Amino acid sequence: MLDQRLLRENPEQIVAQLARRGLQVDLTGLQLIARQERDLEQRRSELQAEGNQIGRQVGERIRAGASPTSPEVAALREQGNRIKQQVAGLEEEEKGLEARLREQLLTFPNLPGPEVPEGASEADNVERKRWGSPRTEAGLQEHWQIGERLGLWDSERSVRIAQSRFITLLGAGARLERALISFMLDQHTARGYTEVLPPVLVNSASLTGSGQLPKFAEESFRCADDDLWLTPTAEVPLTSLHRDEVIPAEQLPLRYCAYTPCFRREAGSYGRDTRGLIRLHQFNKVELFWFTRPEASAEAHAQLTRDAEAILEALELPYRRIELCTGDLGFSAARTFDLEVWLPGAGTYREISSCSVCGDFQARRAAIRFKDADTKGTQLAHTLNGSGLAVGRTMAALLENGQQPDGSVRLPAALVPYFGGERIG
């Protein structure tokens, strides 16, 4: 969520930065609400100070010998009660204005960082790195062809169980998915991440804290009878792991990794990637999440990205790192590196991880602060997240990159102990 102080003091900066995202906004109404709220707060503080002064005068009169029921004391008390009523009325007005302001601020995306390349769409994203040698020979199959041929999943029966865009993994397919999850978690915990297995159902406050609500409600599946949603990504429960908390500064950075099933409606994507594992309503993912100090945020972003890349390299999967331009940033992100894995059957790179630094955007929404032991005040933490990795897309990449002339699939050496074999088929 954007800073209310910035809205009051430098709205031009917000307008200019959102324009870099391609958004034209008029903040006049929000500024008016913010100033009204500040004026009410100032008036309330003045009245509270006046009421406290009257309370002290009552005590002084009584200590000096005045009767508690004397006209003088009674008049002061009556004046104090009138001030209390005024303060209560101002507090209600403040709450109403604060709710209106927060409701509107929650719909604004994060401001892009100054280093983010300018651009209007994904066509303006910038390639920063390539790793590996992509296979380009003719006649390679796509992963959905390989999976169906080897009996790794069943799509038709999944429609009977649920609906389209769900998949049932079978035999070696199910074992490979499980092997990938364990491999990823082991790799990340070996690098110092704390493993978390959070609830798959999350409440509205959790979705609001991470930035999915209110703007993207239509993308998530909601339980009709409860204030609960199926999590679209482990980023949601991990953000709220420290919601409404003050973290001791010496504990930072906090680094978590979590496996969860993820659920997304994929609204507006019908007709794209209808076969295989690329775009499903339910998929598995291992998420990386950091809480850190603001001054360590950029370094943390670089390290989180490298931790995700290390999985691709260990699995011998060629990839490239793309920096998203201002017009392609996600809602909560201030800067993002997408990792795209090479799919030789499809002849293209596809996103497999999105590594983002969110600054204090999520921390402000979720009230996540930290405090040094030798200071009085608190500061908003910075949050970062990235897939480490999307499991189904990793499987797709393994099938396409590992396909052999005899129809089998060779697995990378690092995965063999987890899967229990060197080949599928």
Q: Is 393 a catalytic residue?
A: yes
Q: Please report the beta strands in 332-380, taking only residues with DSSP state E, as ranges in sequence order.
A: 335-343, 348-359, 368-371, 379-380
The β-bridge partners of 258 are 196, 287
Specify whether 351 is catalytic: yes
Marked catalytic residue, from 210, 353, 354, 356:
354
Cβ proximity of 221 and 263 under 8 Å:
yes
Q: How far apart are CA 126 and CA 173, in angstroms?
A: 35
Cα angle vertex 263, ends 152, 363, to 5°? Answer: 135
* Token representation of residue 47: 């009245």
Q: How far apart are CA 147 and CA 18, in angstroms?
A: 44
**Dihedral (Cα; 30, 39, 369, 231), 10-degree rounding:** -40
d(CA 339, CA 353): 5
DSSP string, 198-258: --SEE-HHHHHHHT-TTTTGGGS-EETTTTEEE-S-THHHHHGGGTTEEEEGGGPSEEEEE
User: Crossing angle for the helix pair 391-402 and 143-150, nearest 10 degrees?
Assistant: 80
Output the furthest CA–CA distance in the chain (Å, rounded).
Answer: 105
Tokens of 304: 């989180």
Round to whole Å and give the CA distance between 28 and 154.
Answer: 55
Based on the residue annotation, tell me whether 279 is a catalytic residue of this protein: yes
Catalytic residue among 41, 219, 313, 351: 351
Q: What is the spatial distance between Cα 88 and Cα 283, in angstroms, rounded to a whole number?
A: 50
- CA-closest candidate to residue 244, choices 414, 113, 367: 367
Q: Considering only CA atoms, which of 389, 365, 422 is closest in space to residue 304? A: 389
Single out the catalytic residue among 21, 165, 364, 393: 393
Which member of 243, 255, 279, 321 is catalytic?
Answer: 279
Number of continuous H segments (helices) and E segments (strands) in the chain: 13, 18
Identified catalytic residue from 21, 165, 255, 264: 264
Letter for the amino acid at 135? R
Catalytic residues: 264, 279, 351, 354, 393
